[in-house]
Amino acid sequence: MSPRRRQVFTAAAVQMRSTTDRERNLALAERLAARAAAAGAELIAFPENVAYLRREGEAAPPAEPRSGPTFRRFAAMAKKHGVHVLAGSIAERGGRRGRVYNTSVLFGPDGRAAAAYRKMHLFDVAIGDQAVFRESAFVQAGERPVVARTPLGPLGLSICYDLRFPELYRRLTLRGATVLLVPSAFTAYTGRFHWTALLRARAIENLAWVIAPAQWGTHHPGRVSYGHTAIVDPWGEVVAEKARGDGVVVASIDLDRQAEIRRELPALRHVRRTLLS
């Protein structure tokens, strides 16, 4: 009997500085997808607001149905390179009272949508004059967690501000997720203090891989993202990171090693599920 093939795949997390120029953003995404595919990536993950990052004061970003042209561009990237592509988030039409959904879609190597997740936790904060946002003014919150069943394994979907809510990631993990995807546009102010700490915490708590593609730099006056795109292993080690600049980070996602860690440190078997009800 031949030995079992080790369960390892290559993932790429993309860092971008998106603006309100949709075509410029999409052209950059296509170039970075090609770079990631050339590096052997089987999963390419893009950040939140990948195609359009609104100016503060705009009522809502331009939205479209999931059959719309922006979603199709990411589907085409997946099919062209024969890989899974996570369109970190795109404004999806359909919310109540003119609101949109902040939607992340995972496309399979055939270009078909494998899963879609609508951001559940909306970024409504006012931290002095450093970070003032009210995402709920134009975004409709999603209502359910999503785990995508793929040949790469079960992937738990989330978006940015979700990262502050550990109960979401525990539910994703208990539903089988081995990799947690966190496309983000963390603000520079909060990111400096919290971003890496939260990514490592979610990885450690759930003994899971965390892939976190991020926006970086100044998008518009008053809107600056932290960057520091990262891939974190189930022990909490940051195995790949890019602090600033457009680009790609790549890492081998070793699911067998993850399974070993979960056997050796069986915290997930000790979860008191009554605390989650």
Active-site positions?
48, 119, 160
**Tally of helices (H runs) and strands (E runs) in the chain:** 5, 17
Name the DSSP class of 16. B
Cα dihedral 194, 196, 198, 204, rounded to 10, equals -150
**CB 41 within 8 Å of CB 83:** yes
Beta-sheet strands, E only, within the chain: 8-15, 43-45, 84-93, 100-107, 113-118, 124-127, 131-134, 139-140, 147-150, 153-157, 179-181, 209-212, 216-220, 223-226, 229-232, 238-242, 247-254
List, as one string, the DSSP characters of 78-124: HHHHTSEEEEEEEEEE--GGG-EEEEEEEEPTTS-EEEEEE--S--E
